Structure 1
């Protein structure tokens, strides 16, 4: 008996496979792994830090509504929420893919537009969301942005846009491409009326979006590390037959070459936008 009492417990040959009940004890989404530094952190802490990695400052993607909630005062009024895309070219499976993205994102399209206030200053805004069809620009995206610009012109308030897009939406063909001209024309009319345009480019801002309204701000800002460009890196290298710098098409590269006014970390963005509004809207609509 004494021998049995002091005997070492036998090691299990195989790892225990957790049951479904065990798995349910750990809430899904409680931890997030950073794709940049590979470190794991509590999702709640990451959210508190406006989705910027606590270890390496990597800027995780934000949804349109997360961005609005992090920057705008209470009382944001969304416009044109019910506007939805159709399938003008009868592109196979296009409507099914749109329906899936609507369920996944709780949005009807890749941009949210509306009227809100930052630190009391009223402005019209368009916020793109890369989780809906990679933020691609179709006819509805272009129309919603154009209407937001026109509303800014009507109310004589600034227009801010947050871009996140893979470019024009191929399923809508030339109807998608014409949104580049339509939005650019609306911005020119607004600018001629003396309106303030601020563009904040987030990861990624590419294709027809970068070649139109994203680059037409009076002030052009970007988040750190954001990919900003028109054609892809490989296409450019194959065309010019040269190797491009490692940081090519990053926000920092564009800043270095004079294509941006500032690269602003997300934690500092609200203060930066407030200062811009203070300078350009003295005595403006503020509560």
Structure 2
């Protein structure tokens, strides 16, 4: 069983460098089984969200694993439909109830829309009350992060953003790191888009280290100082994804992978007004 190294967040809380994500695992039985498998394989960081609709399954998986609660770092996220002070208070309690936990290790604002300041104030109070050990954000651009920092009392510990070989976001990563805000990558494999697992460049680097392309991608992110949360429901892949601490990519290999950057999201532009309306508009209208 691999031991995953930890990092220290800007509030002193320790967090594993690599974790297990459950995005797009809506089947509760499958999700619970995958969480149990991951924990028993040595993962100690779990990442879910209200919007994933599987917090209850994550809680079941934790209980079934036999791993002590204080050994597990559990992250969830508040959806924009709860982005007011009062709704956020209820949303935090609802996440805890669904997970069956007394506290969360990390809780994030899932998107930078709606009344983020009101919601953040609720997160700050929950943090002060001991319900949440650390609070952070997801999908915030540099200006949005800075605005939150200047407006509120508690600084975010993490910004979870899309980072993968096709969309490397070097300036956003550098800004967060300069602010001592940890970057955590979602969609590290770009959900397999553009044949990422069979890319010739990545395959050649993988072969040089006796690893898979997926392991090379995870190692590349880790060496950039980025925490990563790959998802899988397959036992072999779950174990494979954590076997990335016994090799190091050379500076030349890191630079080669940097050359794969296409400079655009593989999913959607979080700043496009049409996209915001299509994806988040319905939720935001509930707040009016």
Larger radius of gyration: 1
TM > 0.5 between the two? no
TM-score (norm 2): 0.30
TM-score (norm 1): 0.30
Give the structure, 1 or 2, with the largest relative contact order (CA under 8 Å, sep 6 or more).
2
